[in-house]
Amino acid sequence: MPNSPCKTLINPDELFGSRDLRLQDRRDSQYLQLVHLCTGFNFSVLQLQRKIFSHLSRKMVPGALEFVLATHDETSNYWYSVTPGLASLKMLNDYVKHYEVDILHMHLFGDDDDDYNQFTDNGFY
């Protein structure tokens, strides 16, 4: 199983393409955990294709497709991934099932590291 969830900025300059998969319907019942988080907590499932550098052609080429669970910040208009990129929706659904409590805690209460960084920047520690 990949690492535990963490909130990471999705940089559009590092992507060849992306799309938001609409898992808002209960007919997508094979991915129940993903549907639950998307409908109940305003998450999105994004399919990403990152840019990777090819040493053969010496330019950026499309990487493999990956799926992430993400949130959209309305104020900054940035997307944040809360899961690592996984190769299939089934793998993402299994990951979310395993880490659902951690994902929801981070989404609802914020990241503990953000609080620590806020205090260290202000000289509290």
In whole angstroms, what is the distance from residue 45 CA to residue 23 CA?
A: 7
For residue 117, give its domain range. Answer: 8-121
Residue 112 lies in a domain: yes
Residue 90 has pLDDT above 90, yes or no: yes
| Spatial distance between the Cα atoms of 51 and 47, rounded to a whole number of angstroms | 13
Is residue 67 domain-resident?
yes
Contact 52, 88 (CB under 8 A): no
In a domain, 90, yes or no: yes
Per-residue pLDDT tens digits for 70-79: 999 999 999 9
The pTM (predicted TM-score) of the whole model is 0.80
Residue 106 in any domain: the answer is yes
Question: Which residues lie below 8 Å from residue 104, measured CB to CB, with a gap of 6+?
Answer: 37, 41
Number of domains in the chain: 1
Q: What's the pLDDT band for 23 if we cut at 50, 70, 90? A: confident
Residue 3 lies in a domain: no
Residue 108 inside a domain? The answer is yes
Question: Which DSSP category does 86 fall into?
Answer: B
Does residue 2 form part of some domain?
no
**Domain presence at residue 1:** no
Asked whether the beta carbons of 84 and 70 are under 8 A apart, the reply is: no
Determine phi and psi for 105, rounding to 5 degrees.
Answer: -60, -45
